[in-house]
Amino acid sequence: MVRNGKGTAADTTAAVAWLEQAARGGVPDAMFVLANMLIAGEGGAPDAAAGHAWLQRAAALGQPAALQQLAQGAYEEGAAERADALLKEAAHALKHRTALP
């Protein structure tokens, strides 16, 4: 909400701080959004290394969009087998999504 200005003024810097807190608390969806904000430089200077680290953590916890994004990167790098494995994992994760605690 803070990121997009819904119910409050948009503040991407604050959004990064809130998302980082949630990500450190183990919330995979927060890890995914934070990763992409860091990579894009939303709320601060771009930090691809930190963004990719959060993307990897989210994927390790079965976050489907993170798995798909990593698969896309693998395809672009010519690692088709790795990409296929990631996409299969993403499809499996989509079948077994759980609600946030």
Q: Is the pLDDT of residue 90 over 80?
A: yes
Contact assessment for residue 76 and residue 98, using Cβ atoms and an 8 Å cutoff: no
What's the whole-model pTM score? 0.84
Interacting residues of 93 by C-beta distance below 8 A, sequence separation 6+: 62, 63, 64, 67
Query: What value does the mean pLDDT take over residues 69-92?
Result: 95
The C-alpha angle 76, 82, 88, rounded to 5 degrees, equals 110
In this structure, which amino acid lies at residue 91? Answer: A
pLDDT per residue over 54-68, tens digit each?
999 999 999 999 999
Per the listing, tokens 């819904």 go with: 6
**pLDDT interval class at 9 (50, 70, 90):** low
Residue 40's closest CA among 57, 16, 76?
16
